Amino acid sequence: LQGSTIPFGSQGTVVGILSGKVDVLFDLEFNSGFKIRGAMNSGACVPKNSLINITYGKERKGRKPTEPPIGSEKRLLAGKENVCLKQK
């Protein structure tokens, strides 16, 4: 994250996977965000271990998760640095 801050609890969609990091397009714009694929300033490159996969929990509660953009896989929640990314 190196100097940039993402509001705690922000939700978004992974749009790119790098070694140890992922590009996330968050649902809402924030000051330190950057443009990904022409979208508003809501993108960030974050460590994989700073995200929580919330897709599975929504499915278990009987709610359908919002439809992610084409080509994306998981809905994620930005959180603490020591929380692991869980793959389904």
Contact assessment for residue 9 and residue 31, using Cβ atoms and an 8 Å cutoff:
no
Q: Radius of gyration of the chain from Cα atoms?
A: 12
Section 6-32 average pLDDT = 88
Tens digit of each residue's pLDDT (9 = 90 or more) over 40-81? 888 888 898 888 888 776 666 666 655 555 544 455 455 443
Q: Which amino acid is residue 31, in one-letter code?
A: N
| pLDDT tier, 6 (very low <50, low <70, confident <90, very high otherwise) | confident
Tens digit of each residue's pLDDT (9 = 90 or more) over 21-38? 998 888 888 888 888 777
Residue 82, beta-bridge partner list: none
Question: Whole-angstrom Cα distance, residue 30 to residue 27?
Answer: 10
**pTM for the model:** 0.58
Ranges of each domain in the chain: 11-78
- The per-residue pLDDT for 72 is 46
Cα 57 from chain centre: 15
- The per-residue pLDDT for 5 is 81
Residue 3, beta-bridge partner list: none
